[in-house]
Amino acid sequence: MSLSVGDTAPEFSLPDQDKQVVSLAELRGAPVLVVFYPFAFSGTCTGELCQLRDELATYTDAGVRVVAISTDPTFALKAFREKEGFGFPLLSDFWPHGATAQAYGVFNDKAGMALRGTFLVDAEGTITFAEINGPGDARAQSGWKDAVAELSAAA
């Protein structure tokens, strides 16, 4: 079951590319853009995260924290972040495998990976934007930006 606008975002505590634990609870007080993606180094995922990297100021200038989550191990995420120069944490949902993706309703059991799920969580932990795209279905990030603009205007 996937999550919808108005739902409370499930908590998570996941290691980042440097094995430092990042939790949604620690980020509370600021909006968080949670971006699930299937695999580090894959073509579509790299393109999406590079666009996010290049347009990061759109989010950070609005006070939004950005985290990207995949089922890759931390070692792969470290190499991916270093190669592409991402300025946001890459979180590993490797073990228990896909547990956070499952909680958000974006885990593909057959492939053992996260779908392309995007959630904007407000400062209180409520989902204000939710989008799920299947494997190979690249996301248009304009919807994310519109959601951030709406959230900023309401603040």
Active-site residues: which are they? 45
Rounded to the nearest 10 degrees, how much is the dihedral formed by the CA atoms of 91, 127, 112, 95? 40
75 CA to centre of own chain: 18
Phi, psi of 126 (to 5 degrees): -100, 135
User: How far, in Å, CA of 144 to CA of 150, rounded?
Assistant: 10
Tokens of residue 23, six digits: 């939790």
C-alpha 21/C-alpha 18 separation (Å) is 9
List Cβ neighbours of 81 (8 Å cut-off, separation of 6 or more): 17, 90
Which residue's entry shows tokens 């509370």? 28
Strands 21-23, 13-15: parallel, antiparallel or unpaired by DSSP? antiparallel
